[in-house]
Structure 1
């Protein structure tokens, strides 16, 4: 069995995961990044120790950690993690001084893809892509059955491909990143941009007039009822998401592209629109294109994926 750690800006979630991908023990503690890296790393160790408690030696074969940022897959250094305000933190080395187990670290979307395709999809696909649509946009790439992060650990940052000219600059400093069109933050910002001129919308009604309460769920709810502003927001999101998917297809030609993250909870309403738009953008009309589906794993994907990532590296 393996330990999977899902390191997020809000919580450090950990689980003891058997080879099949089932979680048999789970725990979590608040992250509170404002305390600094030392305190957070100490809590990661506490989570790991808690999961190891009562186990026979050598039962756990390794520890996998998914981080919301960029990690060097060779050294285990966290190169950049904006949500935690970490830059060049030697996470693996710090943990390795306290734990005599192999430790593997990679991007959280990459490990989520490992979970989705090795567990939920039961290894049916050797070449696959996952896009996580949340506050930002993460990407996970599986090629020939292996998770790909590239030489510098940034190879799966699909949210930062340029797809157009955006309303605002991305956190990475550039303009036009996929993340600035299809993330929850992006659609909220675009909705507010439109609401300035068209305030008569179900979006504001559902938010009870409080602009700060506008979120992705409200926008999708309004779009499902054909609210003009919400429909315009979602149609724009789908357009650029389909462009991002087809850009990825042109480079990788995966068997399947899976959509996960909070916005994917819109379900078939989103999926059907994306499939239709992707089909229209196909450049080889006579050939099949990657299937587009919703992710099967939800909240535990990060824990399972981190553990399965450690397993395939072992």
Structure 2
């Protein structure tokens, strides 16, 4: 039995897992990304990665050097050919040789890619996009993460920064985005965008069930508007409809550009299931250029959840 090590490097935590040939996680380890300094010092992050690898392997009696390979998903621009993290905003890395440094430590092949690409590859090889040839995976979280699979391979672009679907503009001169531009898909369709939409509607309609729910819960999540809509609240319903409208524009643009076999959507709001997916399908299929029902991209909810990135990272050897 061959084993593969997957590492998901995040701004807050580094997660590691040992994965078998069936893409099943057999052990896990996790640690805080930041060391005692509280900042993203590269040497400290390297040390955390090494410790999580050793811990995950020890729990199942496997020596790291006996694994077949290590795959790493890291935020930012990752040169997968050279194994260099060229730039990552939340960790502050610039041109660090992550692949080489981990290979030196464990003496087995190491593969590096962007974390959204790794998550997309996870869904492609073991999740909602399994069996497809061309797929796009969009994750609706704090921002909008995305990965593109073409002919079974991760599409990275000429300079390894392709797939930033969240920063395509869907509203000219629209809402400000964290990237500094206006009207980005991310500003409207991320969980953050939905939360902002919900807060605005509640403030404008203090008598609504939506506003009452927020006061009772003491917080606003990406599911608050959906919870209000389930109670029959017209304000909550209007928020969800507006959200789907924006989401459908971005999704339709992607389908019109790539026409994948399947487009998978993930993130906490996707726990709404058919309440999100059914109206989204209707809206998207009205907007796409090819309306032949037999030649239409399938829309699906991601199935691997938070494990997509770590499974995809472990399987990166298949993406070369």
Q: Same fold (TM over 0.5)?
A: yes
* Change in 2 beyond 3 A, CA 1:85/1:204: farther
**Following the alignment from structure 2 to structure 1, what is the Cα–Cα distance between the partners of residues 168 and 16?**
31
How far is 1:210 from its partner? 7.3
* Change in 2 beyond 3 A, CA 1:85/1:110: same
Counterpart residue number, 1:158? 165
Counterpart residue number, 1:187? 194
Counterpart residue number, 2:48? 43
Q: Equivalences for 1:76-91 in 2 at 5 Å? A: 76-91=83-98
* Change in 2 beyond 3 A, CA 1:193/1:239: same
* Change in 2 beyond 3 A, CA 1:15/1:286: closer
Contact kept? 2:65, 2:106, Cα under 8 Å: no
Contact kept? 1:66, 1:106, Cα under 8 Å: yes
The DSSP-based 3-state class of the residue aligned with 1:300 is helix
Q: Deviations over 1:21-55 (max 9, x none)?
A: 01111111122483323322210111112234442
Q: Equivalences for 1:78-227 in 2 at 5 Å? A: 78-121=85-128, 123-165=130-172, 168-208=175-215, 213-227=219-233
**Following the alignment from structure 1 to structure 2, what is the Cα–Cα distance between the partners of residues 218 and 11?**
27
How far is 1:109 from its partner? 2.0
Contact kept? 2:29, 2:53, Cα under 8 Å: no
Q: Deviations over 1:202-236 (max 9, x none)?
A: 3332222677x111122221133342332222222
How far is 1:142 from its partner? 1.0
**Following the alignment from structure 1 to structure 2, what is the Cα–Cα distance between the partners of residues 72 and 197?**
46
Contact kept? 2:136, 2:147, Cα under 8 Å: yes
Counterpart residue number, 1:296? 303
* Change in 2 beyond 3 A, CA 1:23/1:276: same
* Change in 2 beyond 3 A, CA 1:223/1:166: farther
Counterpart residue number, 1:246? 252
The DSSP-based 3-state class of the residue aligned with 2:245 is helix
How far is 1:148 from its partner? 1.3
* Change in 2 beyond 3 A, CA 1:57/1:206: closer
Matched positions, count: 312
Contact kept? 1:163, 1:178, Cα under 8 Å: yes
**What TM-score comes out, normalization by structure 2 length?**
0.89
How far is 1:123 from its partner? 3.8
**Following the alignment from structure 2 to structure 1, what is the Cα–Cα distance between the partners of residues 64 and 30?**
23
**Following the alignment from structure 2 to structure 1, what is the Cα–Cα distance between the partners of residues 129 and 283?**
28
The DSSP-based 3-state class of the residue aligned with 1:204 is helix
How far is 1:138 from its partner? 0.7
How far is 1:166 from its partner? 6.3
**Following the alignment from structure 2 to structure 1, what is the Cα–Cα distance between the partners of residues 239 and 109?**
45
Contact kept? 1:224, 1:269, Cα under 8 Å: no
* Change in 2 beyond 3 A, CA 1:88/1:285: same
The DSSP-based 3-state class of the residue aligned with 2:215 is coil
Contact kept? 1:69, 1:107, Cα under 8 Å: yes
Matched, 1:263 2:265: no
Contact kept? 2:203, 2:211, Cα under 8 Å: no
How far is 1:144 from its partner? 0.5
Unmatched runs of 5 consecutive residues or more in structure 1: none
Contact kept? 1:117, 1:123, Cα under 8 Å: yes
The DSSP-based 3-state class of the residue aligned with 2:139 is strand
**Following the alignment from structure 1 to structure 2, what is the Cα–Cα distance between the partners of residues 115 and 5?**
12
